[in-house]
Structure formats: structure tokens, C-alpha cells
Amino acid sequence: MKTKTKPRKFSPLPTALAALALALALLLALAPAALALDWDRTDIEQHASIGNPLPPYVFTCTNTGSTTITITELHPSCGCLTPVLAKKILAPGETAQLTIGFDRAGYIGDTVRTIGIVTDEPGRDRQPYQLTLRADLPAALTIAPRLLVWKTKERAKAKSADIKINLPDPVEITAATSASDDMTVKLVTLEKGRHYRLDIKPRSTSKPLSPVVITLQTTTPLPADTALTLYAQVR
């Protein structure tokens, strides 16, 4: 006589624990690496006075982890940045300063640059820390517009550029010269040492004319990065 065997019951608990462990492992794998290098700030904005260099940007970092960290690479976004790192190897709890010079020559207005910092921290996979440097760089002299354009066979009438001196002390513009006789220029003083208008007119618009350089002359030299030129063309 055969005896019936009862089906074995499996507890769902081990299966649920295994699924939970797998889910936790996936979350840990997808989670971003912990930031062991703590920066006092990651974004600095400075306002420069006209004609003066920008002061250096100074960032401070601290190793808040439990192992030594080495800063292996610095990647500035342009050659205008010159980073100097006081210390590359930081034991737990140690700090280091990163001082960055910003050569403002040739830049005006709101300017943004960045620098990436790569470390040997496990799990970051060379993902850099990014610091942002912002600068408000006023121009000693502004010209608007800087390019005047006439269409071919358009009426050859005068167009104007507005010129302003933004320095604390006034600077007189004494003349404006055209690099070609095909463009005539007339300088009009609106406020001596502060505000001028330049009236520019092509002698003819019958055919295209490559951009003509027009240069301003001043009584006092302006900062080295000040552009004293504008352009006019027929196209």
C-alpha cells in the first residue's frame, strides 16, 4: 500500500531576503561615490575695477574620509587660469589651499571659467570635482555697435556708433581714423571725456567692401586690454 507524501512547503523568507540583498547591492552600485574631499566653496564671483588685475581665487579643501587622498590632476578650462596647489597628498583631516590666478587681459563683461580636480579616491572613477570662477569685468571704453554694415546698393547714408568712457577720470577722444578712403568718419563730442558719437559713411555701396578698421585716438593711454577699434563694411 502506497503512502501519500505531502508536498514540501518552502518558506518565502529566504527568497525575500535574497531579493532584498540584490536590490541593496544594485542601489549601492548605482549610488554616486561619497565625496571625501570637502570644499569650503565651489563657486567664487569677483568684481574687478577697471584697469586693475583680478585678485586670486582661493579654494580650501579638507579630507573628510578615513584614507589618504592624492590630488592627481588639475584641468583649467583655459590658459587664462594659473592654479597653484599647496599640497597634493592629504591625510584624513588635513586641508589644502588651491590658489588660482585669472589673467583678465582681453576679457570684458560677465566671464565664467571652470577647473576640474581629479583625485585617486576609490569609486569615483576619475570623476572630477568642479570649481567655478566668475568675474565681472567692466570695460574702460564701450563702443556700440562695434560693426556697422551696409547692404550692397543700399543708400550710402551715415550710420553711428556710440562711444562711452567708463573710467573714474575722463579721457578725451581726439580723433578717429579710417584705414580706407572708402569709409569716411566724423567724431562728434557729446560730453567731453565721457561720451562721443562716431558717424561713419561709405563713399559707395555699389559693390561689397571688406571690413574697414576704424581706430580711435585718446589723450591718455587706456588700460592695455582696451579695444580702440571698430569696423564698417558693405556686403
pTM confidence score? 0.59
Long-range contacts of the stretch 49-54 (C-beta < 8 A, 24+): 49/138, 50/138, 50/139, 50/140, 50/166, 50/167, 50/168, 50/223, 51/140, 51/167, 51/222, 51/223, 53/103, 53/104, 54/101, 54/102, 54/104, 54/135, 54/137
- The answer to whether residues 133 and 148 belong to one domain is no
User: At residue 219, does pLDDT exceed 60?
Assistant: yes
- Tell me the pLDDT band of 40, cut-offs 50, 70 and 90: very high
In terms of domains, do 99 and 157 share one? no
Is residue 42 in a domain?
yes
Which residues, 6+ apart, have CB-to-CB distance to 9 below 8 Å? Answer: none
Give the CATH number, domain containing residue 56.
2.60.40.10
Pair (48, 112) in one structural domain: yes
Can you give the pLDDT at residue 31?
42
3 or 103, which is more confident: 103
What would the mean pLDDT of 8-32 be, rounded to a whole number?
A: 54
User: Is 24 a member of any domain?
Assistant: no
The verdict on residue 212 lying in a domain is yes
Residues 147 and 230 in one domain: yes
pLDDT of amino acid 109 = 84
Tally of domains within the chain:
2
Domain boundaries, position 227: 141-234
Is residue 121 domain-shared with residue 159, that is, in the same domain?
no
To the nearest whole number, what is the mean pLDDT of the chain? 88
Residues 118 and 169 in one domain: no
Residue 1 lies in a domain: no
Asked whether residue 27 is domain-assigned, the answer is no
The answer, yes or no, to whether residue 34 has pLDDT greater than 60, is no
Asked whether the predicted pLDDT for residue 26 surpasses 60, the reply is no
pLDDT digits (tens, 9 = 90+) for 47-95: 888 877 889 999 999 999 999 999 999 999 999 999 999 999 999 999 9
3-class DSSP state of 15 = helix
Residue with cell string 578615513: 66
